Amino acid sequence: MGDDFFRDTWVRYLGYANEVGESFRALVPVKVVRASYAVAFAYCFADTAHKSLRALKNDGRPKKVLIEAGDALIWQTLASVVIPGFTINRICAYSQKNLAQKFPKLPPRTRGWLTVGVGLLSIPIIVRPIDIGTTLFMNLTYRQLFK
């Protein structure tokens, strides 16, 4: 395990709160899904603050602090909220539609719970590839420009 509290411990899973919310979208009010995004964004902002304070302590130069803050905020927003949230949303929407087409006699509530299951089971599968892809994207773009 690495030395990054926000990325190498259980705290990382707070960034995936919105994926859980998206998984339950078929069964819960939209307010619950939005609240799950609030938790995920709070995690992103906490990691950004952590990285900013670390840069301030280690270097102290405002430019370095801003670069580190930007890196953390962009990485976390993409890897924790935008990409996985969209991915789970689409997986669940496709599952819901497909279940309705293939099993029209299945009660809607049952289809909803099956969709939740598909969404939740998808989360561990998508996490690592998204993290790796986001890191690669950041290495080829932002980090090339500012580091």
The string of pLDDT tens digits covering residues 4-21 is 877 777 888 888 899 999
- pLDDT digit string, tens, across residues 83-141: 999 999 999 999 999 999 999 999 999 999 999 999 999 999 999 999 999 999 999 99
Burial class (CB in 10 A: 0-12, 13-18, 19+), 34: exposed
User: How confident is the model at residue 40, as a pLDDT?
Assistant: 96
Span 16-45, mean pLDDT? 96
| Closest C-alpha among 92, 144, 134 to residue 114 | 92
User: How confident is the model at residue 69, as a pLDDT?
Assistant: 95
d(CA 59, CA 136): 25
d(CA 39, CA 48): 14
Residue pair 137/78 in contact (Cβ under 8 Å)? The answer is: yes
pLDDT beyond 90 at 46: yes
User: How confident is the model at residue 2, as a pLDDT?
Assistant: 60
Its domain, for residue 55, covers 5-146
Q: Per the structure, how many domains does the chain have?
A: 1
CA 137 vs CA 123, 132, 142, 144: distances in Å: 21, 9, 8, 10
